[in-house]
A and B are shown apart, each in its own frame.
Chain A
């Protein structure tokens, strides 16, 4: 912990030293600036060569700090790439906010090292887990040093956490984050215009009674759909962010679809039980509403038998799964003499 408190001091010291030393290594900074301006949202992609050029082979104190995002495209992980985009927002915002202050803007560069293409450079830092962000301050010599790392519990994948990390370690302010709006202004205006134009037509249609809303089959379908998703516990999966399935702890090739224990469920599990819940009711409804109209008696008979077998199996399966998952055993309360 003591290291952290001294970091800003180290930074200050290095900045003051820099003012003298920058003269000797101005071309490196310039090169970084040009690399930055050519890259998207100002995140410089570091390769094995550039790491040695800008970090390892430069004598300390270096005239700049680097904030490095460790990425791995091969890992193909969505949260990681999400975080990478957030990181790009921070970089772009930092550049935009300090656009006319080159003394600040040229002190910190946002970089990225990809494990899949530049594993050598990646290995230099001794990174154990991803996502990871590291600040290489001007005085840093041992790249394996963990003091420059973002702490594990602070890595939550948001741009705000990165900003907090930078601001706490460097005494620089990133300023307000500029996220691209969900919809651009032209898109919004087009949508508003479309709504405004279509309103009279919609009202006319509603008054005439010709919309999809007047088709009760649509309502029926939506109702059953809402019911299906609710009883399968979809809201639980959304709120708690449960995956569809997980890999087995012991055997990574085996997939686990059903979670034992009452308080959690996996996505696929919920949906399959929701299907079982629904199939019985839908079959019953079909038999009582539609099958009675079928003229062929044998057809009726075959379908009914099929429906009953399916329903019986579905109910049995749910009962079995329920007692397996919760561990409850329902007592039947037969008279004691029957046992």
Chain B
């Protein structure tokens, strides 16, 4: 440890060090326990169940994996979804999460701990958040020492933004990906600080794990090149930088291309081009430095002109090739989600399917308060702490916070990427503040007790120097630590050492007034306490609802709405195993996982036309909708309706998006037809198109029978059309609280009769009704 250097060598310091290490380890274990247990509210309050939508798909894939093995999983073609297209699961899924959970399950079973796959899936996220907080400790320790590391780890263990994605049961990619992200950054910084190829290789492997886990890996492969470029531009190039970067690009890209869902995208799409460009630049720069080393200054001046011009030409050619490649692809080689990050107004203009997802909306300021809470106050202090002094590692975390805070401003979903950065920054800020305040208090108390200080020349300044040896050098701790390690590796640049040393000599750790420090310390502790309370509240109340089971607290006790599982169970027990169920894409994953029925579209929104077809059917009148659904072999249509119990995220509220997405592909669906004076309404003022569309009819069929008036508790109004009959659909199931309604497509009686009659009139000969085909499009 670097602290050894500033303390006199001897047993007390060694003891103190050992004690510090043990204490840190203990604190880390407790942080892990905290991270795990704060995420168990959902299990305690509800039950051990998979949450929401996407986790059900992951759970289904994990089940398949554990049952059939890895090779079957890799080649799995799923015909239960996107009927009639199907989906190649092995090639379109990020396998990191499922492989992780599958491996955990396999290991546990191998050592005779018979947990079910579901239990493993439910608890994967909490376990990995403990790992993530340990990774945060490692990363922050590399930047600003172990004090900051512990603070950052504690903050991350309970940051609400991360809790929202990793409560028990939230079995989603992000749960493991955030750990992978932080760990990759840690290994990058570690390599940068040590210049060790061993860590560089580990870094590439961690990056591989990240690529396996989450599409957000593009953040890493853009952030690290940016940092490298920043280092080069600000004159911080070193061989360590080269070792940290070049192996990552080479090995990382090769490994990333092994993941089927990425494949050749790893070299073909624009998201990765930045890394290759910087890869070239770093080689040019490395060459320049190499030549500078072997030539005399005079010769170097001649050479630099040559090298720079050649380098420029090479760069220009590469840029031209990249531009040509980008220009040749329709979206410029960028995926819609990435494009909407660069041009934030892009998605809302051109891709309704991205804009329709609430987590792709830009956040307002309360979102920051909700998701990172008081960290929002502390981050600026952390940024400034990182700048004094600016090292390679601290410049990286600064870049990380800048990028993530910008992206989080565009898409609320990316708040998740911001959360670790905010924790690291706040950890650094808190640790620095505690250092200064406790140092001031400690010093002044000790100096009061021994009034006969030896050097009383200037009562205020001299003891401060004393204090500096004790605590203030902690700020420089990392720099020193790095230097000592670099010394071992003999890679230190001669220029860097004196500058750091001179700073240490210059900096005097001065103290603050005693009482003010005490008050400030108390205020900081209060701030921390408020953070803890907020996080516990967020974990317990805001983010623990599994959304598959709903509860509501009213004066006459707790109400549980288990309609979703009730209806999926109904589907699985009462319908044929090969029946097709149509619903809006939100419920696709749940239907396949829980009811084991084939769906038309699901949450993997890969085919816009298919979704638009379903959207069009939902927005069409009954007959047209029946024809669309019939052509897709649909037997049952499932709608989610919240008007009876006041469940706001139901299909009627999502309906305008169905219209927009449908209208995007099929222009006869016009949004204006569903709006009265630009307002979306379902009461008596609603447009006839709205009142006659399938979604309205399926949701409000027999609704008036519930209360006699047809009062919708979500829209807070009486519905426009109360009494109507269905001609092409029949109701087969409505759940207890009317949340899920399932309809069956009627067989096409009317059409047959009409045709038979016509035929009879024409030929007046008996045509057997057997010749009539079931599907009109066949």
Contacts and interface: CB of A to CB of B under 8 A. Distances in A.
Interface string B351-394: 00000000001111111111000101111111111011010000
Contacts of B460: 295, 297
Contacts of B381: 281-282, 284-285, 288
Interface string A261-275: 011110001100110
Contacts of A233: 362-365, 367-368, 409
11 contacts: A223-B398, A227-B383, A231-B376, A239-B345, A284-B380, A287-B436, A300-B516, A304-B520, A308-B516, A318-B377, A330-B533
A163 to B, nearest CB: 18
Contacts of B548: none
A204 to B, nearest CB: 9
Nearest to B308: A203
Interface string A290-310: 011111010011001100100
Query: Nearest 3 CB-CB pairs, A to B?
Result: A281-B380, A285-B384, A235-B409
B369 A235 contact: no
Given A219-B398, A300-B516, A231 B436 contact: no
A326 interface: yes
Interface of A: 153, 203, 206-207, 209, 213-214, 216, 219-220, 222-224, 226-227, 229-236, 238-240, 262-265, 269-270, 273-274, 277-278, 280-282, 284-285, 287-289, 291-295, 297, 300-301, 304-305, 308, 311-312, 314-315, 318-319, 322, 325-326, 328, 330-333
Given A223-B402, A287-B520, A325 B366 contact: yes
Given A207-B304, A220-B384, A238-B344, A333 B365 contact: no
B364 A304 contact: no
Given A223-B383, A277-B377, A209 B235 contact: yes
B527 interface: yes
Contacts of A330: 533-534, 537
B508 interface: yes
A114 to B, nearest CB: 28
Given A153-B672, A291-B512, A235 B410 contact: yes
B537 A308 contact: no
Nearest to A214: B234
Nearest to A292: B510
B759 interface: no
Interface of B: 233-235, 288, 304, 308, 312, 344-345, 348, 361-370, 374, 376-385, 387-388, 390, 398, 401-402, 405-406, 408-410, 429, 432-433, 435-436, 460, 508-513, 515-517, 519-520, 523, 527, 530, 533-534, 536-537, 540-542, 672, 678
A107 to B, nearest CB: 30
Given A278-B380, A325-B366, A292 B533 contact: no
Give the interface SS of chain A, mostly helix, strand, loop or mixed.
helix
Nearest to B311: A203
Nearest to A291: B512
A6 B266 CA distance: 57
A326 B366 contact: yes
A293 B387 CA distance: 17
B680 to A, nearest CB: 14
A103 B523 CA distance: 81
Given A285-B385, A300-B512, A270 B527 contact: no
A194 B338 CA distance: 32
A231 B409 CA distance: 7
B379 A281 contact: yes
A206 to B, nearest CB: 6
Contacts of A278: 380
A224 B376 CA distance: 12
